[in-house]
């Protein structure tokens, strides 16, 4: 019963703020971990009988027009995985029980919002659940309540409100033409009016709003500040799933299943994707703050996803979805590494670090896996998704964009080699002589995500034949 | 035109509520529900949350703002005239497919039968907004 994916986190957030404060502080972490891990397991075993047993009863009570397909399943798995990682990191990043209870409450609301975004089949409902994620993100970015956090949260809020206004305007214009806000209704209406100036304007405005939500260039102003000023678990969340769910997934869903591919739309996606991939990589090269480098790297990798989408071919869309999954995993891994180093060394300036590899070997190893996967080195997962995108671009005749994608990969390798060399190699500074490996709760998400990155990469031929080729609704484009 | 941001935000919410009633009277329950949900609910929460995080301006800043307030609007008539000229000369004929007036205008039926998901979403947003105001202002009150 898919509506439970929205209702259970919502009611859990309410229950955790009921009276009996001591009891709920003890229950909060365990309950949230069960919900997040449970969501992951349900996506791996979707036909499990126990949770669908009472579907008929709830179906009669709540008539939610929700739809779960292959694309939703991928996102729901990523949401569960990254939320679990953020929860584990919060054990050390937010040591006070009462503050962590508040953090978990907002995390549960964000889970309800993100699950709603990937499950709804109506444009206005999509907007409503996007707003849930926006408000929750604003609270979490400002959670530490220092001046930089407030500044970053305010920037995020302003850009988010502009995007929301654009989205609403687009929905209003689409409603004039279609008379309906459901995805199939809009798609049918748009196919019946292909040359309408109003529709073209509405599509363009909606796409701009999605670009702002994704933090793609040139609408990326809020993203580096938000990623770097937020607490460590929130950075993992923002980079891992939030921008992907509210921005990239929305684009994928609306372009592939509602608007459809037109030549101007493909060109816009290709231009923005190329700009983000290249400029994001160049900007990352100039950074000295660990988290800001990862933030610009995220912009660059999201540019890859948009390039795959912009090719307009099934292979390109498949590559975009696969890279979306991979990026959620390896970017969360890298931000976990950043949290580990910050918790032990107390700094984020890459130029002030050196020789940490000997003091924090597991962090160094997992960071190397994440960095190489991001750069597209075989046989890791990132190599295969980037390869699919580049092949799709080449086969669809977008040769220049394929070359840009390869160049951006080289730049990605450059800045991650710089990061690795400065942080983990060389002689350890005297100040770091007493540093130990990161704590288990911080190391665990990094180890699990690096294992997923390695296994998905090595087992890619099996994954391609068994899973990807059988994804309905994506190859049906 | 008030000097208080809180009163402005409340005024916006009240205006949206009145607009909702007008839309229902004009047999457009969908538009009314959207207006009520978005403006009177979401936007008001966001505005009030943001205003609660700001500090009041000084007397000198308020006096300066008062002097400059009207000068900001002198461009507006020119913009409206240009937009009017554009619409007068450009033939914009959108192929509108307006839905027929809704047979049922009962707000309960529209909200619960047709827009259940949005109702739950609205409840979650309002809860998130309340969390935000409480969490982010807690220390200010303690001080």
The confidence score (pLDDT) of residue B1 equals: 58
> Which chain B residues contact residue A175 at CB under 8 A?
30
The confidence score (pLDDT) of residue B100 equals: 55
Token reading at A199: 């529709």
The confidence score (pLDDT) of residue A85 equals: 94
Tokens 């962090």 belong to residue: A363
Tokens 């031929």 belong to residue: A461
CA distances from A217 to A214, A223, A309, B57 (A): 9, 10, 16, 34
What's the average model confidence in pLDDT over A403-416? 93
**How much is the mean pLDDT over chain B?**
71
The confidence score (pLDDT) of residue A61 equals: 60
Residue A475 has pLDDT above 50, yes or no: no
Mind telling me how many Å the CA of B39 is from chain A's nearest CA? 11
Mutate to test the interface with A, among B44, B110, B128, B132 (most CBs of A within 10 A): B128
CB A16 within 8 A of CB A108: yes
CB A256 within 8 A of CB A471: no
A289: nearest Cα among A332, A347, A236: A347
Q: List pLDDT tens digits, range A248-305.
A: 999 999 998 888 888 889 999 999 999 999 999 999 999 999 999 999 999 999 999 9
Tell me whether B110 touches chain A (CB under 8 Å).
Answer: no
Helical segments of A16-146, H only: 21-44, 49-52, 55-61, 70-93, 97-119, 123-141
Q: List pLDDT tens digits, range A80-100.
A: 999 999 999 999 888 888 888
CB A344 within 8 A of CB A439: no
- CA atoms of A167 and A207, how far apart (whole Å): 8
SS3 B102: coil
Q: List pLDDT tens digits, range B112-136.
A: 667 778 888 888 888 888 888 778 7
- CA atoms of A2 and B120, how far apart (whole Å): 14
- CA atoms of A236 and A255, how far apart (whole Å): 27
The confidence score (pLDDT) of residue A330 equals: 93
Closest chain A residue by Cα to residue B113: A63
**How much is the mean pLDDT over chain A?**
88
List b or e across A30-42, with b for residues whose CB sees 16 or more CB atoms inside 10 angstroms.
ebbeebbeebbeb
The confidence score (pLDDT) of residue B138 equals: 64
Q: List pLDDT tens digits, range B76-104.
A: 888 888 888 777 666 555 555 555 555 55
Closest chain B residue by Cα to residue A198: B94
- CA atoms of A120 and A126, how far apart (whole Å): 6
Q: Which of A131-135, B5-9, B64-68 has the highest mean pLDDT?
A: A131-135
Beta bridge partners of A122: A182
Domain boundaries, chain B: 5-68+105-142
Token reading at B110: 């529209």
The confidence score (pLDDT) of residue B32 equals: 75
> Which chain B residues contact residue A104 at CB under 8 A?
none
What is the ipTM score, two decimals? 0.81
The confidence score (pLDDT) of residue B143 equals: 44
The confidence score (pLDDT) of residue A238 equals: 94
SS3 A7: helix
CB A473 within 8 A of CB A364: no
B117/A64 Cβ within 8 A: yes
Q: List pLDDT tens digits, range A340-367.
A: 999 888 888 888 888 888 888 999 999 9
Higher pLDDT, A473 or A13: A13
For chain A, the C-alpha Rg in angstroms (whole number) is 21
């Amino acid at each position: 019963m898919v509506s439970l994916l929205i209702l259970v986190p919502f009611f859990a957030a309410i229950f955790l703020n009921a009276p009996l404060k001591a009891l709920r502080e003890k229950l909060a972490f365990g309950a949230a971990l069960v919900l997040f891990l449970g969501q992951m397991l349900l996506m791996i075993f979707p036909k499990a009988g126990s949770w669908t047993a009472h579907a008929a009863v709830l179906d009669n009570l709540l008539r939610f027009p929700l739809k779960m397909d292959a694309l939703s399943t991928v996102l729901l798995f990523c949401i569960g995985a990254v939320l679990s990682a953020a929860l584990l990191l919060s054990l050390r990043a937010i040591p006070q029980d009462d503050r962590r209870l508040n953090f978990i409450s907002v995390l549960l609301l964000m889970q309800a919002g993100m699950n709603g975004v990937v499950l709804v089949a109506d444009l206005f409902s999509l907007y409503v659940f996007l707003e849930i994620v926006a408000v929750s993100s604003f609270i979490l970015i400002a959670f530490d309540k220092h001046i930089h956090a407030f500044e970053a949260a305010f920037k995020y809020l302003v850009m988010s409100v502009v995007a929301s206004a654009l989205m609403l305007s687009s929905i209003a214009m689409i409603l004039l033409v279609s008379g309906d806000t459901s995805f199939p209704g809009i798609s049918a209406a748009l196919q019946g009016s292909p040359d309408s100036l109003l529709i073209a304007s509405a599509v363009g405005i909606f796409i701009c709003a999605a670009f702002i939500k994704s933090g793609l260039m040139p609408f990326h102003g809020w993203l580096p500040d938000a990623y770097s000023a937020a607490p460590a678990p929130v950075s993992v969340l923002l980079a891992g799933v939030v921008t992907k769910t509210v921005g990239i997934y929305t684009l994928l869903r609306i372009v592939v299943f509602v608007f459809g591919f037109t030549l101007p739309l493909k060109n816009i996606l290709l231009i923005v994707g190329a700009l983000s991939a290249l400029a994001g990589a160049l900007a990352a090269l100039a950074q000295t703050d660990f988290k800001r480098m990862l933030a610009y790297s995220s912009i660059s990798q999201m540019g890859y996803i948009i390039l795959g989408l912009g090719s307009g071919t099934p292979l390109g869309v498949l590559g975009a979805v696969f890279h979306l999954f991979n990026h959620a995993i390896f970017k969360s891994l890298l931000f976990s590494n950043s949290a580990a180093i910050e918790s032990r060394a107390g700094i984020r300036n890459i130029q002030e670090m050196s020789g940490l590899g000997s003091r924090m070997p597991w962090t160094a190893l997992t960071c190397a896996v994440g960095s190489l996967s991001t750069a597209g080195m075989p046989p890791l997962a990132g190599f295969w998704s980037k390869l699919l995108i580049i092949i799709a671009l080449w086969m669809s005749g977008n040769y220049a964009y394929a070359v840009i994608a390869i160049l951006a990969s080289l730049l990605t390798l450059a800045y991650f080699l710089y990061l690795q060399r400065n942080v983990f190699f060389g002689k350890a500074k005297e100040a770091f002589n007493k540093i130990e490996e990161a704590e288990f709760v911080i190391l665990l998400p990094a180890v699990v995500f690096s294992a997923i990155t390695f296994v998905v990469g090595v087992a890619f031929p099996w994954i391609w034949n068994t899973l990807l080729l059988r994804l309905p609704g994506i190859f049906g484009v | 035109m008030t000097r208080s941001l809180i009163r402005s935000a409340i005024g916006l919410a009240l205006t949206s509520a009145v607009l909702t009633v007008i839309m229902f009277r004009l047999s457009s329950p969908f538009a009314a529900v959207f207006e009520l949900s978005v403006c009177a609910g979401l936007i008001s929460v966001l505005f009030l949350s943001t205003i609660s995080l700001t500090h009041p301006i000084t007397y000198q800043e308020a006096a300066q703002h008062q002097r400059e307030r009207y000068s900001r609007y002198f461009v507006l008539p020119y913009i409206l005239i240009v937009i009017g000229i554009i619409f007068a000369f450009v033939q914009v004929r959108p192929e509108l497919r307006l839905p027929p007036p809704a047979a049922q205008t009962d707000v309960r039926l529209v909200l619960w039968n047709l827009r259940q998901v949005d109702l739950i979403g609205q409840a979650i947003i309002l809860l998130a907004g309340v969390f935000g105001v409480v969490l982010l202002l807690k220390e200010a009150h303690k001080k």
